[in-house]
Amino acid sequence: MQYAKYIPDPEKDIEKWIDNFNQQISFSYEYRLRTMSVATEAKGICVVGRGEHVRGIWYASDRELQFEYIGIGDIEYGRKNGMWQRSSRGEESDILTQIKRLLEFDKFEYFVSEKYFSYRFKANIPFLAPGRRKEMIGLIMISKRDFLPKKIWAGLPDSSVFWEIEISDYNKRKRIKSPIQNWNTYSFIGSDDDMKSAKKRLKLIDVDHVLKMNGANITLTMPNYFGLEDITRMLSNRTLNMYAVTEQKEDAKRIAYDASNIPVFLTDKLFDENDIKDAKIRRDRSSRFYLELSLKKKVTPPSTIAFELDGSIVGKETLDTSKKINKLNLYTNMQYFDMQILRASLLQPLPSISLERIIEEID
């Protein structure tokens, strides 16, 4: 498939680049913070939507304190006196939440710099200096090579207090491992073929699991940081419909709405998940991930189509109507892990599965 050359527009593209950051697979980071009373330095690895591992040192006036956190799902493990302690996940092991809160409330002012696309913004980080929050400023530097954030800084203009992160090694193959291996076991009714299909589904998602036949039942054992809702989502079938789109409301057969509650005027249903032969996750020249859907046969497309996933419009695509095609690109705001789950559903359908927890948490 041919790609049009991407020409960045730093005056307009910054919000798209920040959205793309949330879609990346993984990254490494170095983090620094200084307030009037404490400072910290840390290094971490984040696998977006999966987990995070961070180590560092807190500095106070009279002491230093080393820390280490691993966050996976809703669970956080903190090392204290050489021992790992489990708790609900907090922001100590969730750098994405910190970054998104910092960036989501203001517009960005572009200024010319040689090395990066650089922007100023009004920083939302009141805990650094609560009495001077209105003075806070922020800077973000975007790579001119891959259009992803390389450095974010926020603080007072005199740098007496600040929050800073440098980001590197995007999308390297990383895995966050739980320091305490606890597993939950579930059961569902199925055949040997159903077990093989479920195994293929979970392998496509790339999650740890053990599947076994137990008479007429199948047992599924997975790490405890995946809850019942998470596993049900992994094993459910998604409904993906593709419709022709018209600009005129009076020509529509039905009206649907996208994530921004903007109406989309749909006409004929063109395809659904049964018409898909293959699905691959790809990344375009602006570092945005998307699903490339291969159809079972070539078709002459309408000029615009919309993708409806489980009843909600998740994307639109403008097509070349001069020739037959057998590939469609589905762009969404999903994180990479959610795209893996959707791809696995499209490639490996399953029978309806009803999970029952049969064993309490075990070592």
Q: How far is it, in rounded angstroms, from Cα 282 to Cα 288?
A: 8
What is the pLDDT averaged over residues 181-192?
A: 94
Residue 48's CB is within 10 A of a number of other CB atoms, namely 18
178: left (phi over 0), alpha (psi -120 to 50) or beta: beta
pLDDT band at 75 (very low <50, low <70, confident <90, very high): very high
Q: Is the pTM for the entire model greater than 0.95?
A: no
Q: Which residues contact 277 (CB under 8 A, 6 or more apart)?
A: 294, 295, 296
What is the pLDDT averaged over residues 98-127?
A: 88
Q: How far is it, in rounded angstroms, from Cα 60 to Cα 36?
A: 10
Whether 117 contacts 141, CB under 8 Å? yes
Which sign does the torsion angle of CA 11, 15, 16, 17 carry?
Answer: positive
pLDDT, tens digit (0-9, with 9 covering 90-100), for 197-234 = 999 999 999 999 999 998 889 999 999 999 999 999 99
**Is the per-residue pLDDT at 2 higher than 60?**
no
Phi first, then psi: give them for residue 98, nearest 5 degrees.
-60, -45
Which CATH fold topology does 183-235+348-362 show? Alpha-Beta Plaits (3.30.70)
**Is the per-residue pLDDT at 86 higher than 90?**
yes
pLDDT, tens digit (0-9, with 9 covering 90-100), for 326-354 = 999 999 999 999 999 999 999 999 999 99
Q: How far is it, in rounded angstroms, from Cα 23 to Cα 313?
A: 19
**Which tokens hold the place of 204?**
């496509």
pLDDT, tens digit (0-9, with 9 covering 90-100), for 277-333 = 999 999 999 999 999 999 999 999 899 999 999 999 999 999 988 889 999 999 999
What is the pLDDT averaged over residues 61-89?
A: 93
pLDDT, tens digit (0-9, with 9 covering 90-100), for 240-278 = 999 999 999 999 999 999 888 899 999 999 999 999 999
The CA-to-CA distance between both ends of the chain, in Å, stands at 48
pLDDT, tens digit (0-9, with 9 covering 90-100), for 119-141 = 999 988 878 878 887 888 999 99
**Is the per-residue pLDDT at 106 higher than 80?**
no
**Which tokens hold the place of 56?**
């560092």
Strand extents, DSSP E, 173-324: 183-189, 210-214, 217-223, 240-245, 254-257, 263-272, 276-283, 289-299, 304-309, 312-318
Q: Which of 24, 34, 30, 13 is nearest to 119 (CA)?
A: 13
Which CATH fold topology does 26-168 show? outer membrane lipoprotein receptor (LolB), chain A (2.50.20)
Residue 321 pLDDT: 86
DSSP state of 348: S
pLDDT band at 62 (very low <50, low <70, confident <90, very high): confident
**Domain map of the chain by residue range?**
26-168, 183-235+348-362, 240-332
**Is the per-residue pLDDT at 101 higher than 50?**
yes
pLDDT band at 1 (very low <50, low <70, confident <90, very high): very low
Return mean pLDDT, the chain: 93
What is the pLDDT averaged over residues 47-53?
A: 95
Q: Which of 193, 192, 165, 191 is nearest to 102 (CA)?
A: 165
